[in-house]
């Protein structure tokens, strides 16, 4: 079993994820894994970084596929005895002009962005070693969507005692409400992406609380962050930030020094804790 520290970035064959891997290759003192759904795209991305003289490894990961997540979990357990840095970056967004019905967009978006991310955390968080760092890439869209929720929903999402089961129930209800065509009446905003990222941000707060309660002496820090508006396939060519600039906040959180006691359970943008 290797005693080398290990970092994993989900959905990292392009865009912000690719830039996070590149930065970690420069700064993280251990093995860095680029992951992708499609092995050929993943290997192609690895090759690009190797051509830059960087040392990077590849492992297949489709966060929509529980077997794929568990294969990565077993591999990390066997080879490294755990995990030091996890960056949950994988996510999807429908384009503004997409004609898919809103209910379809809601189901597909939440399946990956919330439920897929949650499954990765369920399987991999128990592997995170003492002084480990976990970064869940959310979005400023989560805060904007929260502001458009009914007051009752806002109170539930902002609660310091909301449980993971209650959050899952709310995310499931959103999808069901869109199918019934009653989501607005039920107090939801008209953004599937925004609601999926509310889920990621609130999930991060819950996970951090659990780590503080159950593994206090392990000094693990877990946060959600917004990389900003970045020029990627997802956000389009007009965005002001390059992918490397978008990677700055996630990488900052992934590399918080071992003597840091925060941020933890926060929503961070531009390396600064934001009010949620």
- pLDDT tens-digit map of 98-107: 999 999 999 9
pLDDT (tens digit per residue) in 163-182: 999 999 999 999 999 999 99
State residue 1's pLDDT score: 82
List the structure tokens of 253: 């959180």
Of residues 2 and 131, more confidently modeled: 131
Check whether 228 has a pLDDT greater than 90: no
- Of these residues, 80, 131, 193, 252, which one is catalytic? 193
**How much is the mean pLDDT over the chain?**
94
92 alpha carbon, distance to own chain's centre: 11
Q: H helices within the chain, ranges in order? A: 15-27, 39-51, 66-80, 102-110, 117-124, 140-147, 151-158, 164-180, 192-214, 243-246, 248-254
Please report the domains of the chain, with CATH numbers, ordered by start residue.
6-95+116-139+197-274 (3.40.50.720)
State residue 244's pLDDT score: 76
State residue 250's pLDDT score: 96
Most confidently modeled range among 174-183, 219-228, 241-250: 174-183
Confidence bin at 140 (pLDDT 50/70/90): confident
Is residue 193 within 8 A of residue 139, CB to CB? The reply is: yes
State residue 237's pLDDT score: 65
Confidence bin at 246 (pLDDT 50/70/90): confident
- Residues 133, 252: Cα–Cα separation, whole Å: 10
State residue 103's pLDDT score: 97
Confidence bin at 96 (pLDDT 50/70/90): confident
| Assessment of whether the complete model's pTM goes beyond 0.85 | yes
State residue 120's pLDDT score: 98
pLDDT (tens digit per residue) in 193-220: 999 999 999 999 999 999 999 999 999 9
**What integer is the mean pLDDT of 113-136?**
98
- Residues 127, 90: Cα–Cα separation, whole Å: 19
- Over pLDDT 70: what percentage of the chain? 95
* Catalytic residue flag (residue 33): no
Q: Is 35 helix (H, G, I), strand (E, B) or coil?
A: strand
pLDDT (tens digit per residue) in 17-38: 999 999 999 999 999 999 999 9
């Amino acid at each position: 079993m290797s005693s080398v520290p290990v970092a994993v970035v989900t959905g990292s064959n392009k865009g912000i994820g690719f830039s996070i891997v590149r930065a970690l290759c420069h700064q993280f003192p251990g093995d860095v894994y680029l992951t992708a759904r499609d092995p050929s795209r993943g290997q192609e991305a690895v090759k690009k970084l190797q051509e830059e003289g960087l040392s990077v490894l590849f492992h297949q990961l489709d966060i929509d596929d529980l077997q794929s997540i568990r294969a990565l979990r077993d591999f990390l357990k066997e080879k490294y005895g755990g995990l030091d840095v996890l960056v949950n970056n994988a996510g999807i967004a429908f384009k503004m002009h997409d004609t898919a019905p809103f209910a379809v967009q809601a189901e597909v978006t939440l399946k990956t962005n919330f439920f897929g991310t949650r499954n990765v955390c369920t399987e991999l968080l128990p592997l995170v070693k003492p002084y480990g760092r976990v970064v869940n890439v959310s979005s400023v869209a989560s805060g904007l969507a929260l502001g458009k929720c009914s007051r009752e929903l806002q109170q539930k999402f902002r609660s310091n005692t909301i449980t993971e089961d209650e959050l899952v129930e709310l995310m499931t209800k959103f999808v069901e409400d869109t199918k019934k065509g009653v989501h607005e009446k039920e107090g939801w905003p008209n953004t599937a992406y925004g609601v999926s990222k509310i889920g990621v941000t609130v999930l991060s707060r819950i996970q951090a609380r659990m780590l503080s309660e159950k593994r206090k002496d392990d000094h693990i820090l877990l946060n959600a962050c917004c990389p900003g508006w970045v020029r990627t396939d997802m956000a389009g060519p007009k965005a002001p930030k390059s992918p490397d600039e978008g990677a700055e906040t996630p990488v900052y959180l992934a590399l918080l020094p071992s003597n840091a006691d925060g941020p933890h359970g926060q929503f961070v943008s531009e390396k600064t804790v934001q009010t949620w």
